[in-house]
Amino acid sequence: MEQDSRELDARYYMPAFSRTIKIVRGEGSRVWDDRGREYIDCVAGIAVCSTGHCHPKVVRAICDQARQLIHCSNLYYVPNQAELAERLVEITGLAKAFFSNSGAEANEGAIKLARIRTGRNKFVAFTHGFHGRTCGSLAITHKPAIREPFEPLSPPCTFVDYGDLDALAEAVDEDTAGVFVEPIQGEAGVLIPPDGFLQGIREICDDSGALMIVDEVQTGMGRTGRWFAFQHTGVTPDIVTIAKGLASGFPIGALVAREGLEFRKGEHGSTFAGGPVACAAALATIGVIEGVLPEVPRKGEIFMKGLAAHNPRGRGLMIGIPVGDRCPEVQQTCAENGVLVNCAADGNLRLIPPLVITDEEIETAVGVIDAALG
Ligand SMILES: Cc1ncc(COP(=O)(O)O)c(C=O)c1O
């Protein structure tokens, strides 16, 4: 049976991923594979399952809404959609939201919004930054190995070193529609910029009329101990993009923009985006995160202290450890000992567990990771 599904995958599914484990069940911060092995999940579907796996409140919200109405399209007012937009406006401090189905699509929307409202076409983004795999979001994603095979891409984008405000000031000009930045770079392996970086970007954008677009797809929804990582800095962006942790694994993304920055009739749309079930899942998720958010910094500290010998860096429950070439081997050893961790770029081990992970689970995970790191 287990062999069958792997064979089917090899035969019928395009081989874009490399994977060995098949996860078949999840509850809280634990998952089980098809061989019945249990793991503490410090990957959480890549920072998605913020409320843990199958949180009862999220499951109930999804089931209740699915019994009422699964889809109606944006031709009509959609149940839960305005309520979710209101919640996102409250937690971002911005003015209006628009939904998508993923993080890449949220960034596509932000590209379109920035272009149409500024009347400009160029973007600036940062080295090692990741914003998605659709053509537009790939154009602002730095990693040459995934971007270059698809060039030429649009919109035109200049990349400057993450953290280098002088280079940014040089790159931004009167044709720049927006600057895209991750407040902490996730796919790059949890890279934290120097203090004052977001403030500096804000000033450069204010001086030039470019929009400051903060990609919180990975850092948002409580991951770093605040609703959004930009909230550690006192800076207010023009646009924030959100996805991953927004609905506990039910696909949805969003952009939220400041007052006066909005799509007008016919400028953007999507068949599925902001559907009733996705919005119900997101509303329930926000309710759960509200309860656990105050605990996130303390839980992050347990990881940081327990792994201090390995030079961890991070904020809240988003932690990176520089491991180097041994990273895949460490990932495998951890899995063999019942803990899922993830190798991000450049040999950086990434820990992005559910926000509901318990102290005991953290202690167990830290023991396994510490031993695997040696
Ligand atoms: C910062 C950031 N932006 C955008 C994306 C793309 O999101 P999605 O995979 O939902 O399209 C990711 C995914 O890892 C991300 O980490």
Q: What is the pLDDT of residues 169-222, one digit of tens each?
A: 999 999 999 999 999 999 999 999 999 999 999 999 999 999 999 999 999 999
For residue 300, pLDDT beyond 90: yes
- Cβ atoms of 39 and 30 closer than 8 Å: yes
Alpha helices in 252-373 (DSSP H): 276-292, 296-306, 327-336, 359-373
- Cβ atoms of 292 and 314 closer than 8 Å: no
Is 133 assigned a ligand-binding role in the annotation?
yes
For residue 1, pLDDT beyond 80: no
Alpha-carbon distances of 329 from 92, 119, 243, 332, 353, rounded to whole Å = 39, 49, 30, 5, 20
CATH, domain range 2-54+293-373: 3.90.1150.10
Residues 231-252: tens digit of each pLDDT: 999 999 999 999 999 999 999 9
Q: Which of 48, 108, 244 best tests ligand 1's pocket when mutated (most atoms within 8 Å of CB)?
A: 244
pLDDT of residue 4: 79
Q: Which of 48, 147, 216, 217 best tests ligand 1's pocket when mutated (most atoms within 8 Å of CB)?
A: 217
Band (pLDDT 50/70/90 cuts) for residue 299 is very high
pLDDT of residue 107: 98
- Rounded mean pLDDT of 271-295? 98
Band (pLDDT 50/70/90 cuts) for residue 5 is confident
Any ligand 1 atom below 6 A from CB of 215: yes
- Rounded mean pLDDT of 104-113? 98
The domain limits of the chain are: 2-54+293-373, 57-291
Residues 131-156: tens digit of each pLDDT: 999 999 999 999 999 999 999 999 99
CATH top class, domain 57-291: alpha beta
Any ligand 1 atom below 6 A from CB of 218: yes
Residues 26-84: tens digit of each pLDDT: 999 999 999 999 999 999 999 999 999 999 999 999 999 999 999 999 999 999 999 99
Q: Within 10 Å of residue 207's Cβ, how many Cβ atoms?
A: 10
For residue 372, pLDDT beyond 80: yes
Tokens, residue 341: 């961790």
Is 217 assigned a ligand-binding role in the annotation?
yes
Band (pLDDT 50/70/90 cuts) for residue 363 is very high
> What percent of the chain lies above the pLDDT cut of 70?
99
Query: Cα(261)–Cα(283) distance, rounded to whole angstroms?
Result: 24
- Rounded mean pLDDT of 222-232? 98
Residues 26-39: tens digit of each pLDDT: 999 999 999 999 99
Sorted by sequence, the CB contacts under 8 Å of residue 199 that are 6+ apart come out as: 233, 234, 235
For residue 2, pLDDT beyond 60: no
- Cβ atoms of 181 and 213 closer than 8 Å: yes
pLDDT of residue 3: 61
Any ligand 1 atom below 6 A from CB of 216: no
For residue 98, pLDDT beyond 90: yes
Alpha-carbon distances of 314 from 133, 250, 324, 355, rounded to whole Å = 25, 26, 17, 14
Is 216 assigned a ligand-binding role in the annotation?
yes
Q: Which atom of ligand 1 approaches the CA of 186 most closely?
A: 16
